[in-house]
Copies of this chain bind each other. A is one copy, B any other.
Amino acid sequence: MRRPFDPTLYLVTDTGLAAPRPVADVVRAAVAGGVTTVQVRDKTASRRELLGLTRAVQAALADRPDVALWVNDAVDVALLAGADGVHVGQDDLPPAEVRALLGPDRLLGFSVSSVAELDVARALPAGTVDLVGIGPVWTTPTKPDAGSALGPDGARALAEAARAVGFTTVAIGGVDATRAAEVAATGVDGVCVVSAVCTAPDPDAAARALRSEIDRGRLAQAVR
């Protein structure tokens, strides 16, 4: 049985962008401001460092059991930390393999940037993937290998197709407060941010501003 989670404002951490502040401090402030779920991502850390980072973020979220914690790529780290979920990209372990390791109770997210990649997720047995990360909506310096940008219309089309088969959808890539409403208006279930929170001098305030824009975009979507 998977835990429920709120994908509205999904923070992906970046250790370098958060520095010199510890990632866990940025996470704590961002969650106070309205981040609803957190993924620990650090492609340059060793597995040992990533486990330490994940546990530090977990400790920062100890009083927020409503905030689901995901680990990027590292299934072993997620299992050891007892994280709520794992998020994998197209180059990471295939979702069916990850699900075999995770068992039935943890969340699994999968990045898709095209209909062909969404089809990979759709072809898997029901219950393999819970969430698809759709992007990049815009190109972004935090993930230079992420492929060409979908734009809001491309994200909307992928999100509709993904929601139709029951996936939770979040959109990622270049989203900041000036664009969050536009992304939310595409009908995705949530908006992912990296730099917009990790580089913010005040991550609490940054999260509040993003939440406000997401609400505005959702309202626009509802009245269309």
Contacts and interface: CB of A to CB of B under 8 A. Distances in A.
Contact of A47 (B79, B93, B100): B93
A91 B46 contact: yes
Contacts of A94: 48, 51
Contacts of A80: 93, 97, 100-101
A47 B88 CA distance: 10
B101 A47 contact: no
A164 to B, nearest CB: 27
Interface string A50-88: 010000000000000000000001111101100000000
Contact of A74 (B49, B76, B91): B76
A92 interface: yes
A49 B93 CA distance: 8
This protein's copies in its complex: 2
B51 A76 contact: no
Interface residues of A, number: 19
Main secondary structure of the interface of A (DSSP, over half): helix
Interface in A104-133: none
Nearest to A102: B76
Contact of A76 (B46, B48, B93): B93
A203 B48 CA distance: 34
Nearest to A47: B93
Contacts of A48: 91-94
A82 to B, nearest CB: 11
Contacts of A93: 47-48, 51, 76-77, 80
A73 B47 contact: yes
Given A76-B93, A80-B93, 17 more contacts: A46-B91, A46-B92, A47-B73, A47-B92, A47-B93, A48-B91, A48-B93, A48-B94, A49-B91, A51-B97, A75-B76, A76-B76, A76-B101, A77-B93, A79-B101, A80-B97, A80-B100
17 contacts: A46-B91, A47-B73, A47-B92, A48-B91, A48-B93, A48-B94, A49-B91, A51-B93, A74-B76, A75-B76, A76-B76, A76-B93, A76-B101, A77-B93, A79-B101, A80-B100, A80-B101
